[in-house]
Amino acid sequence: MSSPTFFSSPLRSSVWRLSTALGAAATGLFVAWAGDVKGVSASPVYLVAVTALLAVGLYGSASGIPAEAIRDVRRVVVAVTVGVLLKALLIAAVMLAFFPNPASLVLGVAVAQIDPLSVAAMLGHSQMTGRAKALLLAWASFDDPITALLTIYLSVFALRGMTADHAVVRLRPDLGPYLLNLGINILFVVAAWLLWRLLKALGLSRRTFGAVSVATLVLLVVFAVWQFLMLGVALVGLFYRPPLGRVLDRLINGAFYLAAFALGLLLVGEVRLVQGLTLGVAAFLSQVIVGGVLIAPRRMGVTDRVYLALGQQNGITAILLALSLQPVLPEAIPIVAPAILVINVLHIVSNAVWDRREEIPRWLRRRGSAEGTAFAKVARVTGVTHVTERASERLETALDRETSGSREW
């Protein structure tokens, strides 16, 4: 699967990440089967553990946003507001059409985000231009916490009445507690900002500053997990950035594999393949429509535009949201788990094909000019041959134009 003859360097990292996540999930599935593990999601420890992993993932996403990634502020704002909502609505519309259920809207939001860790790993060797990389990374980094919060808060209203035995991550179906929680989040962020400013103003030595700021961050995260201040954690990551080095990367990777293990642990007994396949395909196609058509700047070249359209990947946040929804929506994991696999496989394969985009026009012409086969006859009668010829010509022209000039827009 990771053959260098087909997958480019950035895609090999995606293949490796997906393979190791599948290994962690398979290990969890084996442990659940061998140990007859049941009732994990009903445990109070489960709730705290998932919340802690979610806090680590959200802080890592926000703190990993480089300053240059928000150069095109207007485009990023559109991507993480209109883009996220539109993608969620498109996914939910497809799910509701095939599986009418209030949960479809929640699951649509849960997989709408682009995993920033996967994007960051891929962009180092990507063929995208610098501005396109910055746009995709900023989009992925910002929409991660937004979709997480939308899923958590929306689930309470969308799933109200579906079950009387469980609650979604300490949330209640009343608006008042949410407004109060929003206020507490804002106060938490203000307190963290004042602490950060104070630490920088004290004139501490580099070593002392690092130790104190990291210790303070740990206390802030612990308090946020205790009070479920996920919005606060995401906002704090935008400015509170102590010198963690590669420690944060290791923590996030550890959280990712723990989440994949937990996913497998709770997957035993049921997998909803048809719904998962539908959800995965709908999520990937929603990125094609929103990213490649609506969000991509008009001046963006065809190479960057298609890479942006094929940018959908899911990772730690989608897994953790499925784990968070499990107590109130038992079908969340059986549906989201195969959907994540479908999304990532579609991403890897489609990007591998687009990496060889210079060969696509020749391939289309060969398909269109094929003689003697039943498919070729049907293609000519239905007009598919003409469409492929026109598509190959336009693509070849666009690629030639990019080759002869600057691809920056």
Q: What angle separates helix 332-355 from helix 273-289, to the nearest 10 degrees? A: 50
Token pair 């094909």 is found at 353
The pLDDT of residue 220 is: 94
Helix (H) or strand (E) holding 145: helix 130-158
Q: Are 272 and 331 in contact (CB under 8 A)?
A: yes
DSSP 128: S
The pLDDT of residue 346 is: 92
Token reading at 99 = 């599986």
What sign results for the dihedral spanned by CA atoms 32, 37, 41, 46?
Answer: negative
Segment 206-232, tens digit of pLDDT:
899 999 999 999 999 999 998 888 888
Helix (H) or strand (E) holding 153: helix 130-158
Token reading at 6 = 């087909």
d(CA 405, CA 132): 17
pLDDT tens by residue, the chain, 409 residues: 444 445 555 567 777 778 888 898 889 888 888 876 776 766 778 878 888 888 888 888 777 766 666 566 677 777 777 888 888 889 989 998 998 877 888 888 889 988 877 787 777 667 888 888 878 887 887 787 778 777 877 776 666 545 444 443 444 445 566 677 778 889 999 999 999 999 999 888 989 999 999 999 999 999 999 888 888 888 898 889 998 878 887 888 888 888 888 888 887 667 888 999 999 999 999 999 998 888 888 888 888 899 999 989 888 888 888 888 887 788 888 999 999 999 999 998 898 888 888 777 777 666 555 555 666 666 666 666 667 777 777 777 877 777 776 666 6
Nearest to 313 by CA among 143, 151, 116: 116
pTM of the model: 0.80
The pLDDT of residue 4 is: 43
Distant-in-sequence, close-in-space partners of 357: CB < 8 Å, separation ≥ 6: 303, 306, 395, 399
Token reading at 14 = 């995606």
For every residue of 291-349, DSSP letters joined together read IIIIIS-TT--HHHHHHHHT-----HHHHHHHHHHTTT-TTHHHHHHHHHHHHHHHHHH
d(CA 192, CA 236): 7
> What's the first-to-final CA gap in the chain, in angstroms?
34
As a dihedral over the C-alpha atoms of residue 209, residue 216, residue 139, residue 280, rounded to 10 degrees, the angle is: 140
The pLDDT of residue 137 is: 80
**CA gyration radius, the chain:** 23
